Every structure is written in structure tokens, then in C-alpha cells.
Amino acid sequence: MDTPVIGVLALQGDVREHLAALDAAGVRAAQVRRPEELDGVDGLVLPGGESTTMSKLAVLFGMAEPLRERIRSGLPVYGTCAGMIMLADKILDPRSGQETFGGIDMIVRRNAFGRQNESFEAAVEMPGIPGGPVDGVFIRAPWVELVGAGAEVLAEHGGHIVAVRQGRVLATSFHPELTGDHRVHRYFADMVRDAQ
């Protein structure tokens, strides 16, 4: 089986860290900025950053609708933090004009864990990932208020949902790419291989 190519949406956010984590997870990583670059990837990561800015840049660069279409047609996608917000079918408290790509039947609350100075690191139990808890970095992190019937809760922290999967779409509130623990990226890489 060929080594999958996983893109990182490179409009804004912690792109470099995801590229390094994907490389460590044993896949080929590529930056994706334009719609035609979507055709060259087997999966896509939506990085953390600022979800309102990401939404506006996706529209400006002509990426919003092509991304929605690729997600609807089964492209495996993994979103961290702001990327989780972008994968929600609904945002509880959207900024004016903020759009999402959708893909997971969930309602997300932006900045739910607090402001920048309230950021923290915590061990997160994810039963589907062997080797014990994963290290999660929570930076102005969202949480999931509610999931629909099609979405599977993978992890909670402090009584709040922080990891969700629906089919080929995965989202975490936290940033595993900032920890040196690449198990979540390997889990996503396996999702991409399974879809090939």
C-alpha cells in the first residue's frame, strides 16, 4: 500500500507543528492552500489557530466550498482546536459572518475552556488509542456541547466532550501536535489508510 499523503490546511494556525507530527506518524505531509491542491491529498488536517480568521481566509482563497464538498464526499479530515470548530455543523456562539465546513453532527462552544492565560496541559483518556492517556494542550480551547446520533464521543475532560469522530472525520479540542506524542496523528493516519 502506498504511503498516504496528508495535507495540512495552510491558511493560518500551527501548520508547521502538524507537518512535523504527520511526518513522525509515518505519512507524507503537504501544505494545502489552494483548491487544486486538495486533489493531491488522501486526508487533511485543519490546524488550530483562530477559527474566525480561518473561516474568512478559506472564503477569500476559494477553499470553503471545495473543502465542504470533499468532506461530504468522504475525505478523511482531522481538526484540532479551531479545526474542531470548523468541522462542527453548528457553533453555539459564532462571530459575525463565521462559517464552518461541517462534517460532524455536533454543537461546539468557542473558547469554552477560557482565555489565553487560562491555557493548560492535561492527560486525556482516549480508549481507542493504546498506551495510556494522551497529552493534550488546551489553548483557548472549544468543547462540544452536544453530539448528534452519528457522532461518537472519544474523550472527555472535566465533564466536557473534547474528542469526537464521525465516520472519516475526527476532531479534538486540544493540540496533540504540540506535545511530541504522535499517537493521535497515527490514529488519523490509520483512518486515512483504511479509506484508501
pLDDT in tens, 96-137: 677 899 999 999 999 899 888 889 999 999 988 999 999 999
- Residue holding cell 464526499? 73
- Please indicate whether residue 188 or residue 114 has the higher confidence score (pLDDT): 188
Nearest-angstrom CA–CA distance, 196 and 179: 28
The pTM (predicted TM-score) of the whole model is 0.96
Nearest-angstrom CA–CA distance, 52 and 5: 27
Please tell me the predicted confidence (pLDDT) of residue 1: 57
Catalytic residues: 81, 175, 177
Cell numbers linked to 139 = 489553548
Are 123 and 134 a contacting pair, CB within 8 Å?
Answer: yes
Domain harbouring 40, CATH code: 3.40.50.880
pLDDT per residue over 134-175, tens digit each? 999 999 999 999 999 999 999 999 999 999 999 999 999 999
Domain count, the chain: 1
Please tell me the predicted confidence (pLDDT) of residue 35: 95
- Residue holding cell 487533511? 44
Please tell me the predicted confidence (pLDDT) of residue 138: 96
pLDDT of residue 7 exceeding 90: yes
Give me the half-sphere count of Cα atoms (radius 13 Å) on the Cβ side of residue 73: 10
Average pLDDT, the chain: 94
Amino acid at 177: E
Are 179 and 135 a contacting pair, CB within 8 Å?
Answer: yes
What is the extent of the structural domain holding 17? 5-195
- Residue holding cell 506518524? 25
pLDDT per residue over 79-102, tens digit each? 999 999 999 999 987 776 778 999
Please tell me the predicted confidence (pLDDT) of residue 94: 75
Please tell me the predicted confidence (pLDDT) of residue 117: 83
- The β-bridge partners of 134 are 124
Please tell me the predicted confidence (pLDDT) of residue 97: 72
- How far the first Cα of the chain sits from its last, in Å, is 9
Nearest-angstrom CA–CA distance, 43 and 38: 9
Cell numbers linked to 168 = 472519516
